[in-house]
Structure 1
Amino acid sequence: MTTGSKTTTVFLTTLCALLLTIVGLVQRWPGWAWAALAVLLVAVPTVTFKIAESRRGSFSVDFEEQRTAVPIERREHRLSSVALPSQWADYDFLFSATVRWYPLDPNGHGPVVNPAGLAVEAVLERARALTELRDPDRVSLVEHELGGALSRLCPDRTELLQAMAENVTLTLHAHDRERLDKLAEVRKDKAVWEHQRKYEQSKREYLGEDVLKDTGSAVVWWLAKNEDRVEKTVADLGLLAQLASAANDADVPDRLRAFVPQLVDGRTDAEDVDGPSTVVEREPTATEHFEAFLTSMGFPDGDVRRGMLAKQVADVIRTQGRNETAEEMLRRFEPPARYRSDDEDPSVGGDDAGFESPPGR
């Protein structure tokens, strides 16, 4: 029983005694009643004190002991912007969280330690094991992973306490975030450029190694595109022969010269002027063959399709190492400005000239 309880008990006993005394005087109690009242007033406080002592226990709590009692330990610690490594060198995560712990020996019989330090060490070790395997450009995803991985109480390496983390946040330095954004943009641009380069390379291989490999391949390709125009295909044998010869930087084969009007007409005019003995036959160049092909196809001078088609054929010729012929062809026809750069996609011009990309390429 505390001091306050004892004071209250004595006060109530005294008050009851006064009231009973007044009642006894008014009622003129006999002498034995006054003796019984005196015994009752002494016995009630004594019995009350005994009962309170038995309930409290045999050990008394001294006031000085209460003053010097150890205060309750605060079992949490806030971390802010702790650098943790990522999978990329020099790109650190910034880790912030509230660390909480629970001692495995609450009675304090173990060694004297700093529980906050042990808890922080345990949480950082668990966080680092995860972040050093993650890419820094996935910082939001890693933050949620950490929130789940650190949400459970787990023993530290000393097994003196269990630790966990709450309110986990993960960020990057501002300059690191900018660098990662630039790297992502460069990777995307490179992927687009690689796709365009492979497309152009595939198209050149298709034209040079398949369509324009020789006159026969060119005829088959032309028939496939004009199935219902067999007679026109036969009439265009000379044009196809010139185109295949220009693509391979070679002369028109002798067996196909009769199908090339320019060669036949050129020889006849020379014979009429100078006579058979003075004829000096000059073999037309690949560029002249190609020009004749364009003219017969209905692409007059000034038509932008002449330049577009010339660039595609020049690209095919370059793949076979005949750069001089390719340059001569480009100088002669000079494609429009927007097709002069190798970085532009010539697919539009190729389609206008009648070429199609091979299936599956």
Structure 2
Amino acid sequence: MCGLLLTIVGLTQRWPMWTWPTMAVLLLVVPAATFRITSRRRGSIPVSFEEQLTAPPVERTECHVSRVALPSHWDDYNFVFSATVRWYLLESPGIDPVLNPAGLAVETVLNRARAVTERREPGRSSLVQHELSGVLSRMYPDPTGHLQAMAENVSLTLPEQDQERLDRLADVRKDKAVWEHQHKYEQSKRQYLGEDVLKDTGSAVVWWLAKNDEHVEKTVADLALLAQLTSAANDTDIPERLQNLVSQQPSERIATEFLEEGPAPAAQERTAADHLSGFFDAMGFTEGDDRRAMLAKQISDIITQQNRYETAEDLRRRFDPPATFTPNNREEPNPGDDDGR
């Protein structure tokens, strides 16, 4: 282009003939000198850059695996695995070609995922999913050495039916734990009452004194009741030193005065149920009060632990008898009625 411009200018201006050879030399020398100077400033191309330009591009492909069952730490509970598997081929030292690189890549990823899931419990699938995302996030060679593989977009779930079963099992375990704690509490309470509080009359007096804020007068007034309760709980007779206290109860005095009007009945040995009934009467728990049956049930449980089964059964029959029903829930016929109904 420069030579063409100079030729046009030379013809229009009628340059002399000696200028044309000079112009031709300048058109050859000036571009050559310019290219040489610019090449020195730029320097030679690095070898590594030339290798990158001439190296063949790395072939990297991918495939998607969906809903693959992976075992968990529990039998018959499997995770459901889905992911995008990526891989690229390596230069094989042998001469055998890789026939199915996708199969090798998927197998490598599944083996790595299975090594993790088979040691994890199925109830924490979301946590295991994040763990798998980290484990499968880098390229790792397959056992044959033909390629390296990794996984992206990892998804790990549990079948809906298995998740419902796990939820029910969790509820049962929680209920069982609560029941065991309640049972241990009841056992501890019965053991405390039977082996500590009601072990003897002295222990019961100390316990009652502490319960009544150290009111000595009230505790002394209740000595007879405590003696009866202790005797009933241990299925033993009231000690002789406390017999006078029991005989001085108001109910006993009234009964004695009533019996003195008639013939003296034959002496009859009082049972544990009789002593407990006197204790309930003194406490104000009249006949028909639900508290009598409740306390009798608790005391009979304590006596059962002492292997006094007959006494415990006697208390249950006395204070908590089984309910009886008449046929068709009809009333007894009144003999005074004319029609017998």
Q: Say yes or no: TM over 0.5.
A: yes
What residue is the counterpart of 1:43 in the other structure?
none
What residue is the counterpart of 1:235 in the other structure?
221
**What is the aligned counterpart of 1:222 among 192, 208, 211?**
208
What residue is the counterpart of 1:304 in the other structure?
290
- How do residues 322-361 of structure 1 correspond to structure 2 at under 5 angstroms? 322-334=308-320
Q: Distance in 2 between matches of 1:160 and 1:268?
A: 111
Structure 1 75/204 Cα, relative in aligned 2: closer, same or farther at 3 Å? same
> Are 1:162 and 2:151 matched, yes or no?
no
> Are 1:318 and 2:310 matched, yes or no?
no
- How do residues 1-361 of structure 1 correspond to structure 2 at under 5 angstroms? 73=59, 75-105=61-91, 111-113=96-98, 114-261=100-247, 273-274=262-263, 279-334=265-320
Q: In the TM superposition, what is the alpha-carbon distance from 1:298 to its structure 2 partner?
A: 2.7
Structure 1 96/102 Cα, relative in aligned 2: closer, same or farther at 3 Å? same
* SS of aligned partner of 2:82: strand
CA contact (8 A) 1:243 1:293 kept: yes
Structure 1 71/162 Cα, relative in aligned 2: closer, same or farther at 3 Å? closer
1:214-235 per-position Cα deviation (integer Å, ceiling 9, x unaligned)? 2121111111212432122122
Question: Residue type of the partner of 2:141?
Answer: P
Q: Give the TM-score, by structure 1 length.
A: 0.68
Give structure 1 stretches of 5+ with no counterpart: 1-11, 31-69, 338-361
* SS of aligned partner of 2:145: coil
Q: In the TM superposition, what is the alpha-carbon distance from 1:27 to its structure 2 partner?
A: 10
CA contact (8 A) 2:60 2:88 kept: no
CA contact (8 A) 2:136 2:151 kept: yes
Structure 1 230/21 Cα, relative in aligned 2: closer, same or farther at 3 Å? closer
CA contact (8 A) 2:66 2:81 kept: yes
Question: Residue type of the partner of 1:242?
Answer: Q
What residue is the counterpart of 2:330 in the other structure?
none
Q: In the TM superposition, what is the alpha-carbon distance from 1:134 to its structure 2 partner?
A: 0.6
Q: In the TM superposition, what is the alpha-carbon distance from 1:28 to its structure 2 partner?
A: 11
Q: In the TM superposition, what is the alpha-carbon distance from 1:127 to its structure 2 partner?
A: 0.8
Question: Residue type of the partner of 1:220?
Answer: V
Q: Distance in 2 between matches of 1:211 and 1:122?
A: 70
Question: Residue type of the partner of 1:111?
Answer: D
Q: In the TM superposition, what is the alpha-carbon distance from 1:138 to its structure 2 partner?
A: 0.8
Q: Distance in 2 between matches of 1:78 and 1:136?
A: 24
Using the aligned pairs only, state the percent identity. 64
CA contact (8 A) 1:317 1:325 kept: yes
* SS of aligned partner of 2:80: strand
Q: In the TM superposition, what is the alpha-carbon distance from 1:281 to its structure 2 partner?
A: 1.4
CA contact (8 A) 2:80 2:158 kept: yes
Q: In the TM superposition, what is the alpha-carbon distance from 1:321 to its structure 2 partner?
A: 2.7
Q: Distance in 1 between matches of 2:257 and 2:288?
A: 29
Q: Distance in 1 between matches of 2:97 and 2:304?
A: 81
Q: Give the TM-score, by structure 2 length.
A: 0.71
Q: In the TM superposition, what is the alpha-carbon distance from 1:20 to its structure 2 partner?
A: 12
Give structure 2 stretches of 5+ with no counterpart: 17-55, 324-341
1:206-252 per-position Cα deviation (integer Å, ceiling 9, x unaligned)? 11111111212111111121243212212211101110111122222
1:60-111 per-position Cα deviation (integer Å, ceiling 9, x unaligned)? xxxxxxxxxx998552121111111101000001111111123332x89753
Question: Residue type of the partner of 1:329?
Answer: L
